[in-house]
């Protein structure tokens, strides 16, 4: 019966001589926009910034080791370079597909994101422990140390913590070792440690560039499954941006046991928390619009769901506006105004809700992490 009722439509299609390939939405064009317009430029920019960061960290370490007069200037240059690297990296954070993702999460996954940045896992005491015992200088340190003491977050702590305190418990081994260090020695060790980490960041971001060069074509040819991977990566806006970067400092999460928790904000030492979130949302916007190329919005329009594309674009704009409207400017601590941060939370949630309800339906997308299984 199904065959009987669908036969006329089948015949009419055959008469026109069109093929599925001709009428199908061009997913490869969308994936090309994402790859060439968002991912590859982001990883290249991160790699370039990492080169600058490594050079600046090296110069800072030399100055700190020599206790030179321009150490403050060198440190400021290294800090500025770190900020640029982190902002470049935030675009990669928001779109963890291919080599950046874990092998278990994405085709082509090589876990390179974890090699560079593991936030929200942080270990400030772990970093101070390495400073105290100088184990960062060991030849196998990068290969053997836990990720949180060798990533971009650890590097931030080393470059931006300006007092001579440590983050470990009083009365412990680190505290007693720390007591024997003067301010210049602490600065010199932090700088020396930073150089090792900046080298690691430089090497791994370059590895990511190389990996994407090799992976790009299979990504573009990945069809609906690749789109599902991209869609799943957009959940970063919920799981990390909304639920961690905003909810935790704003005291909206159980992770924070007070009315607000600025100390749990991402990039708090560098006061980059707000800009990080802005880049994350901007990256979401770039993926959705496809930049100057084909985006998810075009896919929706092609599906006859232009209204939904407009709605999502409006919600993205609203989220961007809420971030821009945070009092105190983009360099202020993210939780300085909890009410305003809550407004950002609401705007991002609105965007996330439409992503998880209508967008997923209209484009019949699936989240691979939900796993396989039968239906009925």
Give the dihedral of Cα atoms 110, 100, 355, 285; nearest 10 deg.
-160
User: Is the Cβ of residue 213 or residue 239 nearer to another protein in the bound state?
Assistant: 239
Q: Among residues 209 and 347, whose Cβ is nearest to another protein?
A: 347
Q: How far apart are CA 305 and CA 312, in angstroms?
A: 11
Smallest CA-to-CA distance from 131 within 91, 102, 161 is with 161
**Rounded distance, CA 184 to CA 343, Å?**
43
60 versus 231: smaller Cβ distance to another protein: 231
| Identity of the residue, 10 or 121, whose beta carbon is nearer to another protein in the bound complex | 10
As a three-state string, the secondary structure of 27-86 is HHHHHHHHHHHHHHHHHHHHHHHHHHHHHHHHHHHHHHHCCCCCHHHHHHHHHHHHHHHH
Half-sphere exposure at residue 191, Cβ-oriented, CA atoms within 13 angstroms: 29
> Cβ closer to another protein: 174 or 363?
363
Which is closer to another protein, CB of 4 or CB of 179? 4
Least distance between another protein and beta carbon 241 (Å)? 13
Binding site for another protein (CB under 8 A): 1-6, 9-10, 13, 18-27, 223-224, 238-239, 243, 247, 251-254, 256, 259, 302-305, 308, 349, 352-354, 356-358, 360-364, 367, 369-376
| Pick 143 or 258: Cβ nearer another protein | 258
Q: For 232-246, b where at least 16 C-beta lie within 10 A, e where not — what string?
A: bbbbbbbebbbbbbb
Distance CA 155, CA 57 (A): 10
- Min. distance of Cβ 13 from another protein in angstroms? 5
Question: Closer to another protein at the Cβ: 163 or 259?
Answer: 259
**Between 93 and 243, whose beta carbon lies closer to another protein?**
243
Cβ-count burial 309-337 (b if 16+ within 10 Å, e if not): bebbbebbebbbebbeebeeebeebbbbb
Distance of closest approach, residue 251 Cβ to another protein, in angstroms: 7
164 DSSP assignment: S
Q: How far is the CB of 350 from another protein (least distance, A)?
A: 9
Distance of closest approach, residue 296 Cβ to another protein, in angstroms: 13
59 vs 264, which CB is nearer to another protein? 264
Burial of 371 (0-12, 13-18, 19+ CB in 10 A): exposed
**Which phi-psi region, left, alpha or beta, contains residue 120 (left: φ > 0; alpha: ψ -120 to 50)?**
alpha
Which two tokens mark 291?
A: 């930049």
CB of 347 to another protein, least distance (A): 14
The first and second tokens of residue 296, run together, are 């998810």
Please answer whether residues 353 and 364 qualify as being in contact, where contact means their C-beta atoms are separated by less than 8 angstroms: no
CB of 240 to another protein, least distance (A): 11
- State the minimum distance, in angstroms, from the CB of residue 297 to another protein: 14
Peptide bond into 251 cis (omega under 30): no
Closest contact distance (angstroms) between CB of 36 and another protein is: 21
| Residue 371: CB minimum distance to another protein, A | 4
């Amino acid at each position: 019966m199904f065959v009987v009722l669908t036969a006329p439509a089948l015949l009419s299609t055959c008469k026109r001589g069109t093929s599925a390939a001709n009428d199908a939405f061009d997913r490869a064009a969308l994936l090309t926009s994402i790859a060439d317009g968002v991912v590859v430029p982001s990883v290249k920019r991160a790699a370039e910034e990492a080169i600058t960061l490594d050079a600046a960290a090296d110069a800072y370490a030399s100055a700190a080791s020599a206790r030179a007069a321009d150490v403050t200037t060198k440190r400021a240059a290294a800090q500025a370079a770190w900020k640029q690297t982190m902002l470049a990296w935030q675009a990669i954070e928001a779109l963890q597909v291919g080599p950046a993702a874990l092998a278990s999460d994405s085709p082509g996954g090589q876990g390179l994101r974890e090699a560079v940045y593991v936030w929200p896992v942080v270990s400030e005491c772990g970093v101070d422990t390495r400073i105290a015992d100088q184990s960062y200088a060991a030849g196998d340190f990068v290969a053997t140390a836990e990720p949180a003491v060798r990533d971009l977050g650890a590097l931030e702590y080393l470059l931006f913590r300006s007092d001579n305190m440590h983050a470990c418990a009083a009365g412990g081994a680190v505290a007693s070792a720390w007591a024997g260090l003067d301010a210049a020695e602490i600065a010199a060790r932090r700088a020396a440690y930073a150089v090792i980490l900046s080298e690691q960041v430089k090497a791994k971001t370059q590895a990511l560039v190389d990996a994407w060069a090799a992976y790009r074509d299979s990504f573009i040819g990945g069809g609906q499954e690749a789109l599902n991977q991209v869609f799943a990566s957009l959940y970063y806006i919920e799981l990390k941006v909304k639920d961690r970067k905003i909810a935790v400092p704003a005291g909206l999460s159980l992770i924070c046991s007070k009315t607000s928790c600025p100390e749990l904000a991402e990039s708090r030492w560098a006061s980059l928390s707000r800009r990080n979130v802005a880049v994350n949302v901007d990256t979401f916007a770039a993926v959705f619009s496809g930049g100057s190329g084909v985006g998810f919005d075009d896919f929706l329009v092609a599906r006859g769901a232009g209204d939904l594309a407009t709605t999502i674009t409006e919600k993205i704009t609203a989220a961007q506006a809420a971030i821009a409207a945070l009092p105190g400017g983009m360099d202020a601590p993210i939780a300085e105004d909890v009410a305003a941060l809550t407004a950002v939370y609401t705007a991002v949630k609105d965007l996330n809700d439409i992503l998880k309800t209508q967008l997923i339906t209209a484009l019949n997308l699936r989240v691979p992490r939900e796993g396989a299984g039968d239906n009925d």
